[in-house]
Structure 1
């Protein structure tokens, strides 16, 4: 009797194995096909660690991100602006690679560039000194569109320039006799234009101040007054004031102002130093404790041509660990 039961169980097991083997030979139904995320660098389909979020994998092998300053370094830093700057109260931040280009690309181009290593884009949305004032694509609809595609946005405002600006094309847009009030007026314009294209309060607005001769005392005083007026007004209207300039001019000037205890300085620094590796923590002009965590962008290359998804753009390249726009 026990042997009969054993033989019966054995037949059942063999039958089940044969049945499962037959199932595996059948073609998989359509719903069982693996999801593919497009060709990777080698041309093979791949799904990277960010694919579930609709974001590309970022190749940051050469990037040097900011590192938190040690307590000892902070204690001994005379140029640490943290005591002079309001805390960044929960801004939306981005850490990775970004590009900026003179004219905001079409949404179709932005869609195709999702195959690139970049995850954020700088847009020149306002300011009388913009090199490309005509922006046919830039609108509230465009901002929502790039947001839906997974991009993060760095809004750049190119307002009046330093009286001792070096670039010839910018000399026609120099700061006037009343720099503080002019900075306040242009800050109001920056906020108004930002809101018009859906950039909400809590977002950064980056003031673009091209390289200038900051060692000229009168010029430096005028420029700093303009920047401080702009910063205070932007901050007062609920946005985060950022500052873009050459590392060896405007950024060096802001660092000197911070060391001197000047208030109403930018909350975020975007420094241009080309022909070098992308790095945030090792900029010679800035101590690690100055504009440290989530407050830095390094523009490490400019005017380079890249092609992704069949579309070419002339861009600047940036390494970012800083606030980005909130789009509403």
Structure 2
């Protein structure tokens, strides 16, 4: 982190703070690590990989499907878990936590309704606990669905939208799935490439690249 901070063009990094669908353990992600990298000047983006759509594209994520009958209960419980994780890491109230919802089939309500119900409860609970609700997904699945919910009048939508739309120019307000008049100012992140190997300061990492104009963790 020190080598990349001094030699790369990057200033922020995503950290996976929890969730039942998180791909691997994070034993080095501790309160002291958060303080240390924050002192270097890094901004941190807390990510929570919770339950997924019953129609998630990635086969390895299907075991973590949202139960449609309990979607709101799961959303509430996992938001509370996310707040506990953020608090334990020293990320203060008013920090965002971004729910990672991987790409999924949107052809039927049985695929989309559980995500909308889960995310509504997630957002309400995070706000009740003093945190911001963030939401990450592909532009043509989760992002499109949340925007449709907002357009239909829902008030239970996330505060910040992080959309994955790869292999296009980085943009904050040019994403077709999101009308330019909403989620602004400073309420958007665009992930525009993925799985890119880059070397700085003698260290090679495989990264996803993002353009960020959004809240990050508050580390007192």
Give TM class, smaller chain. over 0.9
Question: What corresponds to 1:227 in structure 2?
Answer: 119
Structure 2 partner of 1:307: 199
In structure 1, what is the equivalent of residue 99 of structure 2? 207
Counterpart-to-counterpart distance in 1, 2:173 and 2:123: 24
Listed one character per residue, the Cα deviations across residues 140-187 of structure 1 (whole Å, up to 9, x for unaligned) are 000000110001000000000011111111101000131001100000
1:156 is matched with which residue: 43, 47, 60? 47
- Greater relative contact order (Cα < 8 A, sep 6+): 1
> Given the superposition, is the C-alpha separation of residues 268 and 123 from structure 1 closer, same or farther in structure 2, using an over 3 Å criterion?
same
Q: 1:179 aligns with which of 61, 66, 71?
A: 71
Structure-1 separation of matches of 2:26 and 2:201: 22
Aligned to 1:140: 31
Decide which structure has greater strand share.
2
Instruction: Give the aligned partner of residue 247 of structure 1.
Output: 139
Q: Deviation string for 1:297-317 (max 9, x for gaps)?
A: 000010111111111111100
| 1:121 equivalent in structure 2 | 13
Q: Residues 58-83 of structure 1, C-alpha deviation per residue, up to 9 Å, x if partnerless?
A: xxxxxxxxxxxxxxxxxxxxxxxxxx
Q: Secondary structure at the match of 1:294?
A: coil
Q: Partner of 1:168 in structure 2? A: 59
Give the match's secondary structure for 2:38.
Answer: helix
- How far the C-alpha of 1:203 sits from its partner, in A, is 0.1
State the Cα deviation string for residues 95-141 of structure 1 (Å, max 9, x = none).
Answer: xxxxxxxxxxxxxxx00001100010111111010112x11311000
1:145 match: secondary structure: helix
Superposed CA RMSD = 0.8
Equivalent residue for 2:175, pick from 283, 292, 307: 283
Please give the alpha-carbon distance, in whole angstroms, between the structure 1 residues aligned to 2:178 and 2:116: 18
- Secondary structure of the 1:180 match is helix
Normalised TM-score (structure 1)? 0.65
| Aligned with 1:266 (options 134, 158, 161) | 158
SS in 1 for 2:196: strand
- Show CA shifts across 1:202-232 (max 9, x none): 1000000001122311221111101101110
Any residues of structure 2 matched to 1:31-180 within 5 Å, and which?
110-114=1-5, 115-132=7-24, 134-176=25-67, 177-180=69-72
Q: Aligned-pair distance for 1:277?
A: 1.1
Q: How many residues align?
A: 218
User: What is the TM-score with the length of structure 2 in the denominator?
Assistant: 0.97
Give unpaired runs (5+ residues) of structure 1.
1-109
Deviations 1:1-50 (A, max 9, x none): xxxxxxxxxxxxxxxxxxxxxxxxxxxxxxxxxxxxxxxxxxxxxxxxxx
Which has the greater radius of gyration? Answer: 1
